[in-house]
Amino acid sequence: MKILKKDKYMKSYIFIIALFIISILIFSACSKQERFIAEAKLNLEFPKEVLSTANPSTYMTDEEIIKRADAICTGEIYVDYRFSEPYICNIEQIEWDVAFSESPGTFMLYLQALNPVSYLTQAYYISDDIKYLDVGQSIIKQWIQYKENRKTSNNPYLWYDQGTAIRSNNLIYFLLAYTGGGVRRGIL
C-alpha cells in the first residue's frame, strides 16, 4: 500500500517538473517582442503599440484608425486593414458566424480574433475617448455570450489556434487600456 502512495506522489512530482521544464523551454523560445513584453512587467508607461501584433497603427495612420473605429461604433465592422469594405451589422447584435467578403475564411478568422477591438483600443490611445472602450467592452461581452451559447459550434475559427492567439493578444491590449490610469475598475 505504501508503494502505491509513493508512486502516486512520484507521478505528481514528475508532472510538475515536466511542466516547469516545458515553461522554461517556451519562455526561452519567445521572440524579442514577447520577451520585451514579459520584461516590461505590464509597466503602463511603455509604448502601447508594442503590445498588439494585430495593431492597426503598424499599417494605418492615426486618422485612418479613428475613422475605422468610429465606423465600428456604428456597426461597420472592419477586421483587418486589407479589407476595404466593412461588414455592416447591428453593433448590439453581431452575427459571429457570418460569411463575408471575397475571402470569408480570413474575415471569419479575424472576426473571431476580435480584431475590431484592436481598432477601438488603438483609437482610445490616440484620442483618449472612452466611447471606444465602451464599444470594445460590448463586443467582448457579445463574443463571450456567443461562445457560451455555441459550445458545439461548427465554426472552425472559434478556437482556431491562430485566431485564439490573436484574440488573447487583443484582449490583453484592451484590458491594459481599460484598466490603465485608474479610469475603469469594473472589468467585464
**Rounded CA gap, 41 and 45, in Å?**
11
What is the CB neighbour count within 10 angstroms for residue 163? 20
Question: What is the rounded CA–CA span in Å between residue 107 and residue 96?
Answer: 11
Q: How confident is the model at residue 32 (pLDDT cuts 50, 70, 90)?
A: very low
Mean pLDDT of the chain: 77
Residue with cell 486593414: 81
Most confident of 40-44, 89-93, 146-150, 159-163: 89-93
pLDDT at 147: 87
Contact 114, 143 (CB under 8 A): yes
118-132 residue pLDDT tens: 999 999 999 999 999
Domain ranges of the chain: 46-182
Q: Dihedral of CA 168/172/178/182: which sign?
A: positive
